[in-house]
Chain A
Amino acid sequence: MSAEEQYAQETEPSLDANLLKELSKKALVDALNSVNGSKTLVLDPSLAGPLGLLTEVALLKQHGVDKMYWLERGPLTSGTTNIVYLCRSRVNHAKIIADHIKRHAKESLKYNYTLLLVPRLSSLVSRLLEEEGVLGDITITAYGMQFLPIADDVLSLEYESVFKDIWVDGDETVLYDSAQALITLQKLFGLFPRLLGKGDHASRLIKLLTTYLDQSRDSSIPDALSEPSSKFNSLIVLDRRVDMITPLLTQLTYEGLIDELLGIKNSHVEIPASLVNPPQNAPTDSPAALPTGTSSNSLRKENKKKYHLSSSDSLFNELRDLNFSHVGKHLNIVARRLDDDYKTSLQSKTTAQLRDFVERLRGRLYSEHQSLRIHTGISELLVPMTRTEQFNKSLEIQQNLLASYNVSEQISSIEEMIAKGADIETVVRLLCLASITSGGIKAKALENIKREFLQAYGYNFLPLLLSLAAPSLAILMPNPLPPSTPLAVQASRYPFASLRKSLRLLIDDNPEAMDEVENDISFVYSGYAPISVRLVQCVAQKGGVLSNPAEKEKAAIASNGSKNNAQAGGKVQAHPIVGWKGFEDILATIPGKIVDEVQNPVGVATPLGGIARPKDKAMTTVVFFLGGCTYTEIAALRWVARQHRGRNFLIATTGIITGSSIVDEIAGIQKTMAGPKDAGI
């Protein structure tokens, strides 16, 4: 089955995630309109990306935004009497704002200040403004930007550094925000009939969700919160601690690899400008109206350009979830098809046929051609990067560690990588992977490699090593654990070896067979199935955990002869959601609490699982990743969704992560690659 056919499957009406986008957009417009007249918008750079997913500059202009500046230190001059600040509730931002206001007061300039705080009001910010003595000069309102759809089936809060906030700093703000966002989701589409979760923080989130749900019910008006949804069948919350292994591995799908090697930020990737040019007329590609920063920092240095990896690009939709080894082939097929299209049209005889061709040339063919050119360009960028010694060595170590093959030799290999000056992120990822999969690294070896690490990258990374070993994270531990370790940490050792067996994590696929069909979610890591998605399968595709259903399907195809018949008949109806049933034992071995709750509307006691629904109606299972998810996990979940009739997934996350982004967060490394000065709007 080619990817093309997989996508050609009948798309069952799922829920419209764009509704959320419209909500956020309207809220923004209302907030802007509440300030009369033209205004100067001062924007928090970290919001530029998310905002770019939401709206265009033109819309802001329509609603009276005269000029836009970045929120940064230094003087601010405004041509309008209204200044609107839009920023996340951080104390640093408040400091800058207070500074602006005081400066203006000194120069006796009078402005109307409005502060829109994302996602809600913060007592820290108001306290700071109060201490600075400017609270009285500024009107503060909240702008509740929550889930943003970054694809048709993916919602993201687009938070940065969530992983560090929760598991290093212990700041659980994001749990509260996530609970509120999930309540908004339920306000639109109804209650999740069932809440499932794995992990201590997942359990806490679910608890918050139910508490605040009670409180956000408007007593007088019956709304979607008072009845179970006709669209959702459950919510599965997984916190990142439950599966730390997956993000540590190198992603091997097309989109995942782009994120690993080039970096994707808010669905935008930076590629050489020559690839994006000649400029297209697509609306996603209009950086001409970029806000001008007050600093001299040029927005288009290095001749790089942002390209929106959007799900409206049909070729990208076909490619994004493929294992990178298949991408070249697929591009070839598309190129040939396009070529054929051109050729057939050259044979057109009548003027009518010609006109038809020209029309197509301008429309579909043109855009297809463009996107083919760009994606070929991107894969050409990627190929040499996947040929480097570091990349392949790292892959090899990963595979060996997953198979627990000669661990001590892998540690020496990592040491050698340090000696050769490999990226700090790669090294940390491998070290943590070694620690988790083998239950800790031998104390002597660990101490030695830590010393090597500090000497090679700098002693200033000592706090990073301490954070990784801290009880809340514990992903770089000695074996055996020192006697002073808290009991909780000793108990939370990850049972990788047993999971490898019970969840069938490693699939012995020979490479030829892989070419034929993607049998299992393990295709995303070329033979390794991400635990997080396996856990989702434990709820939503129980058979898929035990064996490869696609193999059966393949047999069916063979016996049926005709592929199309098999597609219509071969897809199984999704089984109803019955919680973790059947996998409770396995789940219990993984550290972290297990949640399985039935959510009833107020006052009405619905018997468990007895919610009647039309049989053929597609139901959506929402999977929420607390602490972020990778593109690969999204790809794997999409694969699971394709195996069934009657089940769609809506993936919600606090943000998109890679192993490297986690390491950077914890180490406090600022990636200069994208530069905060760049906005996608």
Chain B
Amino acid sequence: MSEHPTTSWQAMQNGTVFYRRQQLYSIMGKLPDLGDYIIAGCRYGGPLAMMRDNTKLIAVGRATPAHAKSQIQVYSSAGEGLLLFSWENSRIIRFGWTLDERLVVLNEEGIYRIYDLQGDYQQYSLGSEASEVGVVDARIYENGLVALTGSLTLLEVKGWDGARPMTLANPGLSDPPLSWAIIPPDLNISRHVEVFLSVENTIYTVDNLESVDQRLSQGPFTHVSPSPNGKSLALLNAAGTLLVISSDFQRHMAEFDTLNVPSAQGNVKQVEWCGNDAIVVTWDSLAVLVGPFADTLQYLYVGNTFAITETDGVRIFGADVCDLIQKVPASTLAIFRPGSTSPAAILFDAWENFSQRSPKAHENIKSIRPELAAAVDRCIDAAGQEWEPYWQRRLLSAAKFGQGFLDLHNPTDFINMGQTLKVLNAVRFYEIGIPLTYAQYSYTSPTHLISRLTSRNMHFLALRISTYLSLKSDVVLKHWASAKILRTRSTTGGTDKDSESNGDDEVCRLIVDKFKQLGGVEVSYAEIAKRAWEVGRTGLATKLLDHEKRASDQVPLLLSMKEDRLALQKAVDSGDTDLVYQVLLHLHKHLTLGSFFRLIEDGGEQLAPASRLLQVYAREQDRDMLRDFYYSDDRRVESAVLALEEASRMKDPAARIAAVKSAQKFFSEDKDRSFEAKMMDESSRLLGLQQQLEGEADGKVVFFGLSVTETIRACILNGMLKRADKIKSDFKVPDKRFWYTKLDALTEVRDFEGLDTFSKSKRSPIGYEPFVRHLIEKGHNKEAVTYVARCDPPKRADLYADCDEWRMVGKECKERGDKAKLEELRKRCPNSLIARELEQLAMSMK
């Protein structure tokens, strides 16, 4: 039987609040002396990363050998070694953990690497500016980092994909801050990161817009520490006073003098938070918990300590133990507090009585009947807060016992809690060493836990847990496959080619089978293939890639594997034009122009979309390339069109004529394009003529670039009638079009005399009705009348009416004896005078 939960409790605030110190692991002798190391702890029960602190002296001859190079060791919370790697780059400025348990290591040149727990890393840089001035310090949080450069400006990086660093507002410092801290973006109202710099007596808050002096006077502050929810700040000043204020600097919440702690010796080492409402101040072998009302609890340790803030408590490492100190949760308090009479406590009591076959059980239950459901829920919750399976089981049993008295109770919570505790107990086991609390587990989600397990290469456990919680297992499988590829390489490495290809087949089959068997339908094979490619197993990569359905994942890898043709083919098949462009641009850059064209041309119908996209792109971007492309493929018509397009953009007449001529040449080389060639011939002739015309008109009239019809029109408008006739015959303009054009042009210059001569020059090929209509349309009714007589007799009456010549209407109708027409037109008369006249006329007709 485990100790009663209350044995680890200590009261505060006159016994209304309790804090408990839960020993998680005994780590006697597993970790080196914490005092000699720079340490970064990962939240949510994560590992510790440690690096020798070179500023400290170390006794020679101890177990740890002296290293010239920096070396980082990673230990789990249970003190198990997870990883050890050495650092060859320049001096490490800081290291810290990401949300997904990867270690970020930043050096003074602004280079940062992100290591996973297997020692693989990605490397990024903070940019050239940072590397020039150097980086002096940084704060790393779960989803990004803020670096302080040598020129005392702040750079922010969001996310861990190598995003471009953003410059925050310049605080204008002359010396590095005494200490500083950040609140991550998701905890701020502004959703942007906020930096707190301790400068002289005050604190500066800096975000990407501005730097504000908060005008505090109690400084200088040696420690700045924001609470896990970002709402409060703990500040420790040089005089040893601990201030707690809200992070918007509006409220002072508490003040505490650390110098008064009796057993404290030396300087304060760390100021960390225990959840969101208490602060832990540590010295060598002492941790003092400061509550909201400045009441304290003292915890003594052997040797040096290291504390890590958790969202619901604080984890403290001593030389021999790893502890979790947290406020006793409400449900646990309600049940186990001595003398508690809460329904949950009574329910637990009832169950204990029941298991001892005492009749008191029934009375107990009866007394809390109305609140029984709530009591059951409390017991379930309290079970989640307990560390010992013994007490978890007892509390769950009590809940189950209580449930029996309820008619309707949803058992989901009970079942979930049972499942969760099983999972939590499994991962808390010292060999795995993830001391995750229920609250942390709920906050970070089960999938997060699974990925933490896979990153420790604990695939089997991860798979079991994800099946147990009915989660998709593809994440685990993917990681497993990558690991598998790495492992198999070491076994088959160095053998001949044939066996390697056999090995590829086998590994590929193994992976695909496993995926199919475990239902990982949506697993992306591309990622795994990439892995295989990275470790130099091209054959395996190709085989795996065949199973990939997403072209967007497939193509980049195919490109880096130099499978150009296949990459282009897959991109075209995907219908994603951007992907096609990606491939085209890549190939254009890496291949010679000739082989690039050949690749596309040889693709035939299958690669035709790519060829067309290339043309679209080249038409805007790279006309020379397009010209070569058409030329190399003997595409005469396209070459000609390209020349024409260029011609239309040219300002210089000579160049333009040359371009048109070259188009003509291209067309003439294709026997089916004789018409087009002829047209281009005409076109260049016309352009030449227009140049000449402009000369004749002393450059006052623009002819160049007009069409044949427009040229004729322009000639007439400017009185160059002879020229117009010449163009007509030179370009074989049909009579009709010429007449319409001339009619329009002469009307426009109001050359009615000329129009008259023109109309009589020969019998009009368009008749005379268009003359009348056109003149009316342009408002020359008087002039129009003269042409009516030359129109078809039946239409004349109407045309006269349109010209407003009503007398002539009457006359015409009378002549033709068309009474009906007269009656019809009479209705349109503009005034009664004419109407009467026409009426009389109508009367006179039979």
Is there a chain B Cβ closer than 8 Å to A423's Cβ? no
CB-nearest residue of chain B to A137: B164
Is there a chain A Cβ closer than 8 Å to B300's Cβ? no
Contacts A421-B744, A451-B679 hold; do A175 and B575 have CB atoms under 8 A apart?
yes
Looking at the assembled complex, report how far the CB atom of A279 sits from the nearest CB atom of chain B, in whole angstroms: 35
The B-contacting residues of A in range 457-486, CB under 8 angstroms, are 457-460, 462-463, 466, 482, 484
The A-contacting residues of B in range 574-615, CB under 8 angstroms, are 574-579, 581-582, 585, 608-609, 612-613, 615
Other-chain residue from B585, B608, B707 in contact with A457 (beta carbon distance below 8 A): B707
Contacts A91-B621, A208-B575, A454-B679 hold; do A36 and B522 have CB atoms under 8 A apart?
no
Looking at the assembled complex, report how far the CB atom of B606 sits from the nearest CB atom of chain A, in whole angstroms: 14
Contact between A421 and B740 (Cβ–Cβ < 8 Å)? yes
The A-contacting residues of B in range 163-197, CB under 8 angstroms, are 164, 166, 190-192
Contact between B578 and A462 (Cβ–Cβ < 8 Å)? no
Is there a chain B Cβ closer than 8 Å to A204's Cβ? yes
Is there a chain B Cβ closer than 8 Å to A561's Cβ? no
CB-nearest residue of chain B to A120: B578
CB-nearest residue of chain A to B474: A219
Contacts A92-B620, A112-B166, A170-B613 hold; do A36 and B709 have CB atoms under 8 A apart?
no
Q: How far is the CA of A447 from the CA of B674 in the complex (A)?
A: 11
The A-contacting residues of B in range 624-651, CB under 8 angstroms, are 637, 641, 644-645, 647-648
Contact between A459 and B522 (Cβ–Cβ < 8 Å)? no
Looking at the assembled complex, report how far the CB atom of B682 sits from the nearest CB atom of chain A, in whole angstroms: 7
Contacts A170-B609, A219-B474, A416-B736 hold; do A124 and B617 have CB atoms under 8 A apart?
yes
Is there a chain A Cβ closer than 8 Å to B500's Cβ? no
The A-contacting residues of B in range 662-694, CB under 8 angstroms, are 672, 675-676, 679-680, 682-683, 686
Is there a chain B Cβ closer than 8 Å to A546's Cβ? no
Looking at the assembled complex, report how far the CB atom of A102 sits from the nearest CB atom of chain B, in whole angstroms: 17
CB-nearest residue of chain A to B127: A136
Is there a chain A Cβ closer than 8 Å to B472's Cβ? yes
Is there a chain B Cβ closer than 8 Å to A214's Cβ? yes
Contact between B549 and A215 (Cβ–Cβ < 8 Å)? yes
Is there a chain A Cβ closer than 8 Å to B616's Cβ? yes
Contact between B686 and A459 (Cβ–Cβ < 8 Å)? yes
Interface of B is mostly: helix
Q: How far is the CA of A601 from the CA of B675 in the complex (A)?
A: 56
Other-chain residue from A128, A211, A455 in contact with B707 (beta carbon distance below 8 A): A455
Interface of A is mostly: helix
Contact between A463 and B549 (Cβ–Cβ < 8 Å)? no
Contact between A169 and B549 (Cβ–Cβ < 8 Å)? no
Q: How far is the CA of A70 from the CA of B472 in the complex (A)?
A: 48
Note all chain A residues with C-beta closer than 8 A to B370. Answer: none
Contact between A463 and B645 (Cβ–Cβ < 8 Å)? yes
Looking at the assembled complex, report how far the CB atom of A468 sits from the nearest CB atom of chain B, in whole angstroms: 13
Is there a chain B Cβ closer than 8 Å to A9's Cβ? no
Contacts A37-B209, A418-B737 hold; do A459 and B682 have CB atoms under 8 A apart?
yes
Contact between A176 and B576 (Cβ–Cβ < 8 Å)? yes
Other-chain residue from B207, B474, B741 in contact with A36 (beta carbon distance below 8 A): B207
Contact between A171 and B682 (Cβ–Cβ < 8 Å)? no
Other-chain residue from B208, B582, B620, B707 in contact with A459 (beta carbon distance below 8 A): B707
Note all chain B residues with C-beta closer than 8 A to A462. Answer: 641, 644, 676, 679-680, 683
Contact between B641 and A204 (Cβ–Cβ < 8 Å)? no
Contacts A124-B585, A175-B575, A208-B575 hold; do A455 and B617 have CB atoms under 8 A apart?
no
Instruction: Find the residue from B209, B578, B641 having the highest chain A CB count within 10 A.
Output: B578
Is there a chain B Cβ closer than 8 Å to A510's Cβ? no
Contact between B686 and A450 (Cβ–Cβ < 8 Å)? no
The A-contacting residues of B in range 552-588, CB under 8 angstroms, are 574-579, 581-582, 585
Is there a chain A Cβ closer than 8 Å to B708's Cβ? yes
The A-contacting residues of B in range 702-749, CB under 8 angstroms, are 705-710, 731, 733-734, 736-737, 740-741, 744
Fill in one digit per residue for B107-130: 1 if any A CB lies within 8 Å of its CB, else 0: 000000000000000000001000
Q: How far is the CA of A204 from the CA of B549 in the complex (A)?
A: 17
Note all chain B residues with C-beta closer than 8 A to A217. Answer: 522
Note all chain B residues with C-beta closer than 8 A to A214. Answer: 549
Note all chain A residues with C-beta closer than 8 A to B164. Answer: 136, 139
Fill in one digit per residue for A186-201: 1 if any B CB lies within 8 Å of its CB, else 0: 0000000000000000
Other-chain residue from A219, A415, A456, A466 in contact with B708 (beta carbon distance below 8 A): A456
Is there a chain A Cβ closer than 8 Å to B795's Cβ? no
Is there a chain A Cβ closer than 8 Å to B409's Cβ? no
Other-chain residue from B472, B608, B675 in contact with A219 (beta carbon distance below 8 A): B472
Note all chain A residues with C-beta closer than 8 A to B737. Answer: 418-419, 452, 455-456
Is there a chain B Cβ closer than 8 Å to A298's Cβ? no
Note all chain A residues with C-beta closer than 8 A to B208. Answer: 36-37
Q: How far is the CA of A418 from the CA of B166 in the complex (A)?
A: 62
Note all chain B residues with C-beta closer than 8 A to A447. Answer: 675
Note all chain B residues with C-beta closer than 8 A to A416. Answer: 736
Contacts A171-B616, A455-B709 hold; do A484 and B641 have CB atoms under 8 A apart?
no
Is there a chain B Cβ closer than 8 Å to A389's Cβ? yes
Is there a chain A Cβ closer than 8 Å to B773's Cβ? yes
Contact between B675 and A450 (Cβ–Cβ < 8 Å)? yes
What is the total number of residues of chain B having a CB less than 8 Å from a CB of chain A?
A: 67
Is there a chain A Cβ closer than 8 Å to B550's Cβ? yes
Looking at the assembled complex, report how far the CB atom of A424 sits from the nearest CB atom of chain B, in whole angstroms: 10
Q: How far is the CA of A16 from the CA of B164 in the complex (A)?
A: 40
Note all chain B residues with C-beta closer than 8 A to A36. Answer: 190, 192, 207-209
Is there a chain B Cβ closer than 8 Å to A373's Cβ? no
Note all chain B residues with C-beta closer than 8 A to A179. Answer: 575
CB-nearest residue of chain A to B583: A123
Q: How far is the CA of A418 from the CA of B766 in the complex (A)?
A: 13
Note all chain A residues with C-beta closer than 8 A to B773. Answer: 389
Looking at the assembled complex, report how far the CB atom of B761 sits from the nearest CB atom of chain A, in whole angstroms: 18
Note all chain A residues with C-beta closer than 8 A to B585. Answer: 123-124, 127
Note all chain A residues with C-beta closer than 8 A to B734. Answer: 419, 452
Contact between B577 and A419 (Cβ–Cβ < 8 Å)? no
Q: How far is the CA of A127 from the CA of B550 in the complex (A)?
A: 23
CB-nearest residue of chain B to A218: B522
Instruction: Find the residue from A37, A92, A462 having the highest chain B CB count within 10 A.
Output: A462
Note all chain A residues with C-beta closer than 8 A to B191. Answer: 33
Q: How far is the CA of A408 from the CA of B94 in the complex (A)?
A: 86
Contact between B575 and A176 (Cβ–Cβ < 8 Å)? yes
CB-nearest residue of chain B to A81: B209
Note all chain B residues with C-beta closer than 8 A to A120. Answer: 578
Contacts A91-B620, A452-B737 hold; do A171 and B708 have CB atoms under 8 A apart?
no
Note all chain A residues with C-beta closer than 8 A to B582. Answer: 123
Contacts A123-B582, A171-B577, A452-B734 hold; do A463 and B644 have CB atoms under 8 A apart?
yes
Fill in one digit per residue for A34-46: 1 if any B CB lies within 8 Å of its CB, else 0: 0011000000000
Contact between A170 and B740 (Cβ–Cβ < 8 Å)? no
Note all chain A residues with C-beta closer than 8 A to B708. Answer: 455-456
A residues contacting B by CB (< 8 A) are 33, 36-37, 91-92, 112, 120-124, 127-128, 136, 139, 169-173, 175-176, 179, 204, 207-208, 211, 214-215, 217, 219-220, 389, 415-416, 418-421, 447, 450-452, 454-460, 462-463, 466, 482, 484
Smallest CB-CB A-B distances: 7 pairs: A170-B612, A459-B683, A419-B737, A458-B707, A455-B708, A173-B577, A219-B522
**Apart from A127-B585, A207-B575: 4 A-B pairs, beta carbons within 8 A:** A91-B620, A172-B577, A204-B575, A466-B676
Of the A-B pairs whose beta carbons lie under 8 Å apart in the complex, a sample of 30, sorted by A's number, is A33-B191, A36-B192, A36-B209, A91-B617, A120-B578, A122-B578, A123-B581, A124-B578, A127-B585, A170-B609, A170-B612, A172-B577, A175-B575, A176-B575, A176-B577, A208-B575, A215-B550, A219-B472, A219-B474, A219-B521, A389-B773, A419-B737, A452-B734, A454-B683, A456-B708, A457-B707, A457-B709, A460-B644, A463-B644, A466-B641
B residues contacting A by CB (< 8 A) are 127, 164, 166, 190-192, 207-209, 447, 471-472, 474, 521-522, 549-550, 574-579, 581-582, 585, 608-609, 612-613, 615-617, 620-621, 637, 641, 644-645, 647-648, 660, 672, 675-676, 679-680, 682-683, 686, 705-710, 731, 733-734, 736-737, 740-741, 744, 766, 770, 773
